[in-house]
Amino acid sequence: MNKAYMEDFQNIILRLEELLTLNRIELENLLLIKDKTYDNFVVPYQLMSEKLNNFTTPIYHLDSVSNSELTQKIYDDTIPILSLYFTELSQNENSYSAFKLIQDNYQDTLTIEQNKVLENEIRDFQLGGCGLDNLQKKELEEIDLQLSKLSKKFSQNLLDATNNWEMICDETDVIGMPSDEKERAKFEINGESKYKFTLKMPSYNAYITYGSSRKKREEIYKAYSTRAPQNGIIIEEILILQDKKGKILGFENYADYSLATKMANTQDEVIGFLRDLASKSKDKAIAELNELKNYAFKLDLLSDFQSYDFSYYSQKLKEEKYDIDEEFYKPYFEKELILKGVFSFINKIFKIDFKETKEEAWNDKVLIYEIFEDDNFIGKIYLDLEARFEKKGGAWMHNWHNRYNINGYLQYPTAFIVCNFPASTDSVPSLLTHDEVTTLFHELGHAIHHLFTKVDQPFVSGINGVTWDTVEFPSQFLEYFAYEKDILKMFAKHYQTGEILDDYSIDKLINTKNYGSALATIRQVEFALFDFLLYQQPRNEEGIQELLDNVRQEFSIILPPKYNKFQNGFSHIFSGGYAAGYYSYKWAEVLSADAFYLFKEQGIFNQKLGEKFKNIILGKGGSIDMNQLFYLFANKKPEVESLLKIDGIIS
């Protein structure tokens, strides 16, 4: 995916249509096979899908990291083409019958991986509409096409709104702000220094956390929380279509449909889990907020306390309570030094090597590493970590190639990690906060789940086939290590002097780990419960806001201003695949906390335990359900108390 690829990007639609034509012909030929077996039908069926995945992934990726009118147009043009193709594929009754026949005839002779492929595909055919009449199938086809378009439009509206806003500040508005943040925001106009802040996450976070002007904090908060108001009507349409889709397929609602591919079994189980988590966290969260309010009232004599005050005073209290100065720590968290240290840690625990390779990519700042186990090449990772104007906000991992070993050919896995860390300049490298360090650990956790797989069948290799509410398990698990002293010492080095961060400073940082943890838990429950209840029935904009207000009234510790339209920017559930599944973060966190406790008990660098985690949790991919894998690894079922303890909410 180099610059030559990007220059030829305008021809990609023609090449996509040619590939889909070949796939359709190949499927027709497969269906003509008289005696279908796993090897002569399912294997080529998977390989056909792999060719398409390898071709289309760069289309979505470039639209996210090098967004332009061209990438938008090509992405938009692919939506109806691919939507039609995947609808045809998912509703093909002959393919569905073939998979069921192979399962009936050969189940006892196939491997665990092969049977899991069959099980998942038969389920997905049913979810795709097989067994429905032609009228219902046609309606599903139209719904999926419209949902694809709406999801893309939601995302593009959000990106445009983020890119099209800026706030200009004077010197008096940035008093006390860290020097590197000021340097990044600084520009000259008529010989006078001014500072520009945007809604891109590093810039927004800088001002909402350190901005000394309360008026300016509200200005940027209001702009951020009211982005893309046109998304309100898009959400209405998405909810109507998702509800129709669920009901056509025989589910009570879309929330019920969503659970068909998750570890949780019922809607009540999810809602009960979230309410239980909130009830056990609320008292601690109230105490945390009261402490923060009292601090703010005492420090600046505030007469009220608003959402746009939260990050600012939280940071100040954190600095005072723990003697933490983010400005002091940032020189010790330089992007490339962190990467070297993190890869050393992964090598120590999992015996995996990352070796940088120089290849052309879509941007000169992209870093590429080849991955080795016992000197054998096993995969490749691309890291695009710095914020750019043309890059969508947030952080994510995306799998490109899936590992498979079929017919004597081994395809190695590849993955992207994309973040929006502060951009380096000629004078300042990319210096991270510790929160951003944990974000990197999180995304690497996703990546190693995909890259360390040993599964031979692509449909259940890496993160493929992993239930959505457990896919966050390895990523959240790896996050915990970012607060371990011995691991911090592997990368917390001053980018200019090479000095390792001292024990006293590391201890102070570790002590902040659970600062505000109950408030953060309540916030995640608010998002998750809103998401899940939202997909139980369609609502108009007013009804959506009413639902969100009701959830906030029940659980939120601090209510945002009425102008806050958080839902219009909730890309995770409207354009990120988490619809009726945002609860997955907390659900998976229970698994990750329990697993991490084993390392705390048996040793952070316990290679025997590391090998077990690598081979069972990471190595098995989606070939076995995660609840079974967790039991194989931990010899027990996960318990929510581990999460509450590790977050310091209960003792």
CATH number of the domain within which 362 lies: 1.10.1370.40
In this predicted model, which residue has the larger pLDDT, 154 or 428?
154
For residue 540, give the 3-state DSSP assignment.
coil
Residues 120 and 183 in one domain: no
Give 633-642 pLDDT, tens digit per residue: 999 988 888 8
Residues 433 and 347 in one domain: yes
Residues 16 and 67 in one domain: yes
- Owning domain of residue 201: 166-225
Res 301: pLDDT: 86
- For residues 211-233, average pLDDT: 97
Are 199 and 569 in contact by the 8 Å Cβ rule? The answer is no
Task: Single out the residue of 624, 615, 627, 635 nearest to residue 588, CA to CA.
Answer: 627
Alpha carbon distances (Å) from 460 to 116, 130, 380, 404, 455 = 7, 22, 19, 9, 7
| Three-state secondary structure readout of 550-596 | HHHHHHCCCCCCCCCCHHHHCHHHHCCCCCCCCCHHHHHHHHHHHHH
Indicate if the pLDDT at residue 4 is higher than 90: no
On whether residue 273 sits in a domain, the answer given is no
Average pLDDT score, the chain? 94
Catalytic entry in 141, 219, 236, 443? 443
Indicate if the pLDDT at residue 185 is higher than 90: yes
Give 334-352 pLDDT, tens digit per residue: 999 999 999 999 999 999 9
On whether residue 360 sits in a domain, the answer given is yes
Indicate if the pLDDT at residue 371 is higher than 60: yes
Res 404: pLDDT: 98
Chosen domain end from 513, 535, 555: 513
Residues 62 and 45 in one domain: yes
Residue 469's DSSP bridge partners are none
**What percentage of the chain carries pLDDT values higher than 70?**
98
Residues 358 and 501 in one domain: yes
Residues 97 and 154 in one domain: yes
Indicate if the pLDDT at residue 10 is higher than 80: no
Res 6: pLDDT: 57
On whether residue 614 sits in a domain, the answer given is no
Residues 208 and 150 in one domain: no
Q: Is 443 a catalytic residue?
A: yes
Res 7: pLDDT: 62
Are 186 and 277 in contact by the 8 Å Cβ rule? The answer is no
Q: In what order do the strands lie in the sheet with 192-198?
A: 166-169, 192-198, 186-189
Residues 90 and 125 in one domain: yes
Task: Single out the residue of 571, 557, 491 nearest to residue 64, CA to CA.
Answer: 571
On whether residue 92 sits in a domain, the answer given is yes
Give 423-451 pLDDT, tens digit per residue: 998 888 999 999 999 999 999 999 999 99
- For residues 487-508, average pLDDT: 95
Report the phi/psi class of residue 38: left, alpha or beta, with left for phi > 0 and alpha for psi in -120 to 50.
alpha
Res 327: pLDDT: 82
Give 46-90 pLDDT, tens digit per residue: 999 999 999 999 999 999 999 988 889 898 899 899 989 998 999
On whether residue 549 sits in a domain, the answer given is no
Res 393: pLDDT: 85
Res 9: pLDDT: 64
**What percentage of the chain carries pLDDT values higher than 90?**
88
Q: Which amino acid is at 106?
A: Y
Are 61 and 96 in contact by the 8 Å Cβ rule? The answer is no
Residues 481 and 353 in one domain: yes
Chosen domain end from 136, 158, 180: 158
- For residues 616-643, average pLDDT: 94
Res 426: pLDDT: 86
Per-residue confidence band for 204, with pLDDT thresholds at 50, 70 and 90 = very high
Per-residue confidence band for 535, with pLDDT thresholds at 50, 70 and 90 = very high
Q: How many CB atoms lie within 10 A of CB 276?
A: 12
Indicate if the pLDDT at residue 293 is higher than 70: yes
Give 452-480 pLDDT, tens digit per residue: 999 999 999 999 999 989 999 999 999 99
- For residues 280-284, average pLDDT: 95
Residues 403 and 459 in one domain: yes
Residues 55 and 86 in one domain: yes
On whether residue 572 sits in a domain, the answer given is no
Indicate if the pLDDT at residue 1 is higher than 60: no
On whether residue 290 sits in a domain, the answer given is no
- For residues 116-143, average pLDDT: 95
On whether residue 261 sits in a domain, the answer given is no
CATH number at residue 78: 1.20.1050
As for how many domains the chain has, the answer is: 3
- For residues 286-299, average pLDDT: 95
CA atoms within 13 A on the CB side of 567: 30
Are 132 and 140 in contact by the 8 Å Cβ rule? The answer is yes
Angle at 473 between CA 431 and CA 599, to 5 degrees: 80
Give 224-258 pLDDT, tens digit per residue: 999 999 999 999 999 999 999 999 999 999 999 99
Residues 126 and 186 in one domain: no
| Residues 6+ away with beta carbon under 8 Å from 226 | 563, 564, 565, 568
- For residues 568-576, average pLDDT: 94
Chosen domain end from 476, 498, 513: 513
- For residues 574-590, average pLDDT: 93
- For residues 287-306, average pLDDT: 93
Per-residue confidence band for 11, with pLDDT thresholds at 50, 70 and 90 = confident
- For residues 287-294, average pLDDT: 96
- Per-residue tokens: 99: 């998979």
Please give the Cα distance from 177 to 571 (Å, whole number).
Answer: 30
